Structure 1
């Protein structure tokens, strides 16, 4: 039995065979920014169910199409994103977005037909829940760290294998993926080619930093 979320969403969801739920590994917001084709701030203005094809059993493949109003593009091609598509339920990696004037930070990837599809493995958060540092990092500061790689630590002991990596320890230290490193730190490349955590509310003045890990 093939993984449904891979068939329908072509996502990075880690779906176990016969599993009904969608499972994803946690991603630091900077890493999500760097991995995404599109990073926008937007709110939902409408939604509807659409049929995007037929599965191998002859059943219609249903998805949820959200009409959105983009208020800011942090990363992406020229032009405005006005729709996104996702699975019909969380079990199929679908994302539920409210349409009560709530704004979101939305990351996702464009597929060959130009469709922006999002799923539970993408970094999607309400705008109000983001820290000031996260909001100011969207763009220059996160982009400066895209040559680095952030490695999540889920179980101690854990370590990095390359100088161009930063170890993300929020989960094991704070018991949450929304800890200090996610909210206030950026992994930035230093002058010697290694990467290290940088803290601050404004983008660094130079492209390299010498700082200590948090």
Structure 2
């Protein structure tokens, strides 16, 4: 096979591959608390550097981005902090890769064989763009409500079917939560009577508002 034919085949393969992955990233809508609870790790960290790690076959765009970070504060996954040296994401946005600049971020994602992995479908935001209420939710509320269920309903008359359910009726409140709606500023927490409900107060919920998660 001639070099010209080989290059042509590689070109068409690359174009076909890019077209295939261009439609590959699809993120389901959800409340920030749902994304928090689904993540293995949630942290505040500063991104200090990055480098591209090519894939095994060295196909352009199919590698990973390795971000160097300095962990500032942990909100979930405290026992896994020793496993975190870098943050990884896919190089291509069409494969849900996320580009991060230097600065402080709220980062969430999964622990994989490759390390701490994040994508555009995870709970990611510049720290300074979060409201005070959202920062309080991260510190005090989301984790206590991970045994609650948040259900999305397009009918504002929807009512919870079980006592541990919070209803989200506003689809515009789904992530990302720029220009957050009131329910998006709230957290679904477990009350002392075992029921779940939206909490939008300031600071840490009182003992009457929450129950010990070890009792769940």
Question: TM (normalized to structure 1)?
Answer: 0.74
Query: Contact 2:83/2:115 (CA < 8 Å) preserved in 1?
Result: no
Offset at residue 32 of structure 1 (A) = 1.7
Residue in 2 aligned with 1:93? 96
Greater gyration radius: 2
Residue in 2 aligned with 1:142? 142
Number of equivalent positions: 184
Residue in 2 aligned with 1:122? 122
Offset at residue 120 of structure 1 (A) = 1.1
- Residue 133 of structure 1 aligns to a residue whose secondary structure is helix
After TM superposition, list the pairs within 5 Å mapping 1:2-151 onto structure 2. Answer: 18=20, 20-21=22-23, 22-54=25-57, 59=59, 61-76=62-77, 77-79=80-82, 81-99=84-102, 102-111=103-112, 113=113, 115-151=115-151
- 2-structure distance, mates of 1:81, 1:173: 31
Offset at residue 196 of structure 1 (A) = 0.8
Greater helix fraction, Structure 1 or Structure 2: 2
- 2-structure distance, mates of 1:43, 1:152: 33
> Which residues of structure 1 form unaligned runs of 5+?
1-16, 210-214
Question: TM (normalized to structure 2)?
Answer: 0.74
- 2-structure distance, mates of 1:124, 1:208: 28
